[in-house]
């Protein structure tokens, strides 16, 4: 059984992603490391397989890359 989009959003929050902005049903999530992911759909909708793959790839990329240093 596929996970719900609300579960994917909760996993993004736990991984340190922040909701950057929303346009209609599309949400753009950003991580301090620079990784960005867009999710579309309502909370109760089933996650599509490509959304699950994107989520896993983004979490791996975000946690593997150290956050950029601030410029002085």
Q: What is the architecture of the domain spanning 5-64?
A: 2-Layer Sandwich (3.30)
Q: How many residues does the chain have?
A: 72
**pTM of structure:** 0.83
Domain range list for the chain: 5-64
Q: Cα(42)–Cα(25) distance, rounded to whole angstroms?
A: 7
Q: Which helix (H) or strand (E) holds 49?
A: helix 49-64
Q: Cα(45)–Cα(6) distance, rounded to whole angstroms?
A: 8
Q: How confident is the model over 20-72, as pLDDT tens digits?
A: 999 999 999 999 988 999 999 999 999 999 999 999 999 998 888 666 676 65
């Amino acid at each position: 059984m596929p996970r719900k989009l609300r579960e994917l959003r909760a996993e993004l929050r736990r991984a340190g992603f922040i909701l950057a902005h929303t346009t209609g049903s599309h949400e753009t999530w950003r991580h301090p490391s620079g990784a960005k992911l867009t999710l579309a759909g309502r909370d109760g909708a089933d996650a599509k397989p490509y959304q699950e793959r994107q989520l896993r790839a983004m979490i791996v990329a975000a946690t593997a890359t150290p956050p950029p240093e601030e410029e002085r």
